[in-house]
């Protein structure tokens, strides 16, 4: 056999092996990706009231409740970050206007037990997913729900999870300093940093803890504000990007936009991350971020990303604006927008008859109705609280 034929034969065998591995991997993913068992019952019918936002929340909670798995989680599949999924649902119930009490609801007790059962010796709360565990992200979401449960029996779990997250912060000088990634020292990004700072804030980490000041160094490097961002690509509009690590000036992203272009989700995440880190509302960095938000206020899409991650975007909009403490957004045309009512109306219009929400765009798992419904219920609950606080204040 000639050398050329031998090489071709070897390449053919290699290709065949790779094809088999690829097909096997795809089959494994299809079988074990995040999913849900068929509910054994239908959501309870919600009697309409004069509070349409509350009615919408209750329909969403009804959909979520019938999707609990036998093990207490709200998702199945070996590739599912179960504690994170389940914690999102638990938090939706706890944070709803009806303020579900854990002690009164066995299904929530079962869900929290499932979350706690995943805590590892290192303090992290995550599923042992092959390749990537999402250990820090999953721990942050779980920690937030446990903190909101307000039950002293979870104090040791919370303390260990808090320390686990703090240890995963990048501390070495450089672009990554102060940021958090998905876990295990992975590349930091603003989305994970925001989620983890939120969890640490809810867990009661003191304001003088170094974690906050360290975080601002990374948040600065995600903002398009050259006065406080030392990166060459930094612009001037005050908005934020996902990750500054490895970003060169002029680089274009997969969507064809400049990789340094500010966009919706991250700009709201940047604003609230500064606030979590105890940066004053009057700080020029915060004011610059709010200026971007006012100039780009839009609830019809995730600004700059269209329908990608749309419902996560809505959730971070509500979290950021409620913490910032503003009810109305004045856009450049001089129109004042009641963001909480606008967002509530928008989400009610998108709700399906069975109480769920789901994104036609599958990016970031938003084709999963349980996860998205948990996002939206929490978002609507924030809107409901803001609108009722304003009503009580006489606005």
Alpha carbon 373 to its chain centroid, in Å, reads: 13
- What local confidence, expressed as pLDDT, does residue 11 receive? 60
- What local confidence, expressed as pLDDT, does residue 292 receive? 98
Q: Is residue 22 included in any domain, yes or no?
A: no
pLDDT at 175 over 50: yes
Cα(164)–Cα(123) distance, integer angstroms: 5
pLDDT at 17 over 60: no
pLDDT at 28 over 50: no
Q: Is residue 18 included in any domain, yes or no?
A: no
| Residue 114 CA: distances (Å) to CA of 107, 162, 200 | 11, 19, 21
Q: pLDDT digit string (tens) for 306-322?
A: 999 999 999 999 999 99
**pLDDT band at 85; cut points 50, 70, 90:** very high
Closest CA to 355 of 62, 148, 154, 53: 62
Question: Range of 318's domain?
Answer: 53-392
- What local confidence, expressed as pLDDT, does residue 254 receive? 81
Q: Is residue 250 included in any domain, yes or no?
A: yes
Q: Is residue 97 included in any domain, yes or no?
A: yes
**pLDDT band at 186; cut points 50, 70, 90:** very high
The pTM of the whole model exceeds 0.85? yes
Mean pLDDT of 27-47: 79
pLDDT at 86 over 70: yes
Q: Which helix (H) or strand (E) holds 85?
A: helix 82-94
Q: pLDDT digit string (tens) for 233-250?
A: 999 999 999 999 999 999
Phi, psi of 125 (to 5 degrees): -125, 100
How would you classify the pairing of strands 336-338 and 328-330? antiparallel
pLDDT at 299 over 90: yes
Q: Is residue 365 included in any domain, yes or no?
A: yes
Cα(370)–Cα(356) distance, integer angstroms: 7
Q: Is residue 47 included in any domain, yes or no?
A: no
How many structural domains does the chain have? 1
Mean pLDDT of 151-173: 97
CATH number, residue 272: 1.50.10.20
**pLDDT band at 10; cut points 50, 70, 90:** low
pLDDT at 26 over 80: no
**pLDDT band at 133; cut points 50, 70, 90:** confident
- What local confidence, expressed as pLDDT, does residue 215 receive? 98
Q: Is residue 272 included in any domain, yes or no?
A: yes
Cα(316)–Cα(200) distance, integer angstroms: 17
Q: pLDDT digit string (tens) for 252-275?
A: 988 889 999 999 999 999 999 999
Q: Is residue 69 included in any domain, yes or no?
A: yes
Mean pLDDT of 37-41: 91
Q: pLDDT over 70 for what percent of the chain?
A: 90
Mean pLDDT of 323-333: 98
* Mean pLDDT, the chain, integer: 92
Cα(371)–Cα(365) distance, integer angstroms: 8
Q: Which is more confident, 22 or 158?
A: 158
Mean pLDDT of 316-335: 98
Phi, psi of 337 (to 5 degrees): -115, 130
| Residue 183 CA: distances (Å) to CA of 91, 118, 159, 232, 329 | 22, 15, 18, 27, 36
Alpha carbons within 13 A on the beta-carbon side of 214: 21
Q: pLDDT digit string (tens) for 195-213?
A: 999 999 999 999 999 999 9
């Amino acid at each position: 056999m000639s050398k050329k034929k031998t090489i071709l034969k070897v390449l053919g065998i290699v290709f065949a092996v790779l094809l088999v591995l690829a097909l096997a991997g795809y089959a494994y993913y299809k079988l074990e990706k995040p999913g849900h068992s068929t509910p054994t019952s239908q959501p309870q019918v919600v009697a309409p009231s004069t509070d349409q936002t509350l009615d919408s929340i209750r329909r969403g909670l009804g959909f979520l409740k019938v999707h609990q798995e036998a093990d207490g989680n709200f998702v199945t599949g070996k590739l599912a970050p179960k504690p994170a999924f389940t914690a999102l649902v638990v938090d939706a119930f706890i944070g709803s206007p009806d303020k579900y009490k854990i002690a009164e609801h066995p299904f929530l007790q079962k869900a929290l037990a499932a979350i706690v059962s995943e805590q590892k010796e290192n303090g992290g709360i995550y599923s042992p997913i092959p390749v990537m565990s999402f250990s820090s992200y999953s721990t942050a979401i779980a920690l937030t729900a446990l903190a909101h449960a307000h039950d002293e029996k979870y104090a040791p779990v919370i303390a260990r999870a808090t320390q686990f997250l703090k240890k995963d912060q990048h501390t070495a000088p450089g672009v990554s300093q102060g940021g958090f990634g998905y876990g295990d020292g992975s590349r930091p990004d603003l989305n994970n940093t925001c989620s983890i700072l939120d969890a640490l804030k809810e867990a009661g980490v003191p304001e003088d803890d170094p974690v906050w000041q360290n975080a601002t160094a990374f948040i600065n490097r995600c903002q398009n504000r050259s006065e406080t961002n030392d990166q060459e690509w930094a612009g001037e509009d005050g908005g934020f990007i996902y990750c500054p690590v490895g970003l060169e000036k002029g680089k274009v992203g997969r969507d064809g936009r400049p990789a340094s272009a500010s966009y919706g989700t991250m700009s709201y995440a940047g604003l609230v991350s500064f606030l979590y880190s105890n940066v004053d509302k009057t700080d020029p960095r915060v004011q610059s971020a709010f200026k971007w938000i006012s100039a780009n206020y839009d609830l019809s899409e995730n600004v700059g990303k269209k329908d990608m991650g749309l419902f996560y975007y809505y959730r971070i909009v509500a979290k950021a604006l409620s913490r910032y403490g503003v009810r109305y957004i004045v856009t450049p045309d001089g129109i004042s927008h009641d963001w909480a009512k606008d967002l509530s109306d928008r989400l009610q219009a998108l709700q399906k008859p069975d109480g769920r929400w789901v994104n036609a765009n599958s990016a970031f798992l938003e084709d999963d109705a349980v996860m998205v419904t948990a996002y939206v219920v929490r978002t609507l609950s924030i809107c409901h609280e803001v609108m009722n606080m304003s009503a009580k204040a006489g606005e």
